[in-house]
Structure 1
């Protein structure tokens, strides 16, 4: 009983300090995802394989990956995704069979064919369900 009352008292003091303008406990931002973008280029075309990894401690059920195509690129076809392109903005949504990304390392993959003019470059950033991802 003493331990419970002590815990309640400590929690109350901490909450009171926070409400009185004290510092809130620091919460570390948890990275949510990592994207591996693997292109194979030929003359004016390319095939890209995209591997999405959930690096958070919470599973993802249903995902949307967003990214911008570099200038001069366009998508011709895709697989294992429902891909839409508006201008240079690409939105890839999971297929029925790859929508679950387990916590702490679950992966999903898709790919697409594209064309480019000029010099090829890969997208520079990605978001998973609106949250920034690390690119590897």
Structure 2
């Protein structure tokens, strides 16, 4: 229904997907600065990354900035391709934290998506950001 309304208004499906993807990354990026969420995300940072070069909380902030920048970059044509590629690389780089959480579901609860579904979701997200960034 939304897709039909958007295409009737002259918005191509890829443009709609790009806007939705950008909004999602912007929204998720903003959550990286909400204290209760920051604490949970910081706990997901594997110990090997502590102090290399950032603290777990700083890693959360850095990834939040990256998601906000990537979302904004998708919306501006001159930066769209770079943003799509950067978001794909970003999704590969943050996967270790997701895998760590998946191995510790008792500690992280519902936010710890099991490994194989999370890996599949990550691959689909990578494909999506490349499609909306390069398409």
The structure having more radius of gyration, on CA atoms, is 1
- TM-score w.r.t. structure 2 length? 0.25
Q: Pick the structure with more strand per residue.
A: 1
Q: Pick the structure with more helix per residue.
A: 2
More contact order relative to length (CA 8 Å, sep ≥ 6): 1
